[in-house]
Amino acid sequence: MKFVVSTPIALDPKRAVEKFDAALFTALAPPFPKIRLVRFDENTVEIAMNFFVFKTVWESRVYPTHVDDQQAYFVDEGVRLPPPLKFWRHTHRLVARGQGSVLRDEIEFSTGRGVLDVLIYPFLWAMMAYRKPIYRKLLR
């Protein structure tokens, strides 16, 4: 399943993509589940997740950043995912618009079961939509 959440921000793509660091990642964490950043470097992001009834790890491989005059983007793809996810690809795309950009969170995910994808889609969409005011505040 695929979906996109778009957020207008004040920074141009080149300056905005430089702000994607551990501090921004931590600020974007939703209130639930509780998340602890274990590793954050240019190639890997690993978080420990506490769902109260169980704990799990989410690890993503981060692919190199592309930057040109019109856009900047990088991709994180799940290596170890919390159940029930079997596949995760998140493209963080910043497209120039006026003096700023539109930040597009382009998500592709799968649980391996279409019905379950439909059931968890609202949760995943809400998790991405939660980031919109944080992006607008911190990427200016």
19 class by beta-carbon count within 10 Å (0-12 exposed, 13-18 middle, 19+ buried): middle
pLDDT of residue 87: 98
Structure tokens at 109: 């995910």
- Give the domain range for residue 69: 2-138
pLDDT digits (tens, 9 = 90+) for 78-96: 999 999 999 999 999 999 9
CATH number at residue 52: 3.30.530.20
Q: What is the pTM of this model?
A: 0.94
Contact (Cβ atoms closer than 8 angstroms) between residue 71 and residue 91? no
pLDDT digits (tens, 9 = 90+) for 25-67: 999 999 999 999 999 998 999 999 999 999 999 999 999 899 9
Q: Give the residue from 69, 66, 60 showing the smallest Cα distance to 41.
A: 60
Structure tokens at 79: 């290596």
What is the number of domains present in the chain? Answer: 1
